[in-house]
Amino acid sequence: MEVSRPESARLLSIDQRLFKPGMFLVQQGEGDLQTIVHRARDTWIHRTPVQRNAEGKLYLERVRWPRIHLKPFDDMDALVTALEAMNLTRIA
């Protein structure tokens, strides 16, 4: 499903869009491949691929996020909710 975004949001680089630590976005890749892109406390941009287990549930391999590391989620909404519960802020 295509989600329309303001033209200005599409023109900004990821570095510009994630301008402060704790901000993240979900980047759509080819097919159903998605990546969580976030700005960490060290101010670097990190990319974490969203994985799918044998049961079809989504999970992340990110040791620095122990509350969600390898935890299965039913869908992307549940994963995003867990990230927001860790005080991360999703941007469009």
pLDDT for 1-54, tens place per residue? 455 555 555 578 999 999 999 999 999 988 888 999 999 999 999 999 999 999
Quote the pLDDT of residue 31: 82
At the fourth CATH level, the homologous superfamily of domain 7-90 is SH2 domain (3.30.505.10)
Quote the pLDDT of residue 1: 46
How far is residue 92's CA from residue 6's CA, in Å, rounded to a whole number?
9
DSSP state of 16: H
Residue 3 to residues 6, 25, 29, Cα–Cα distance (Å):
10, 14, 14
Which pTM value belongs to this model?
0.84
Say if residue 38 is exposed, middle or buried (CB neighbours under 10 Å; 0-12, 13-18, 19+): buried
13 token code pair: 């680089």
Between strands 23-28 and 51-52, the pairing is unpaired
Quote the pLDDT of residue 37: 98
Tens digits of residue pLDDT in 45-92: 999 999 999 999 999 999 999 999 999 999 999 999 999 999 999 998
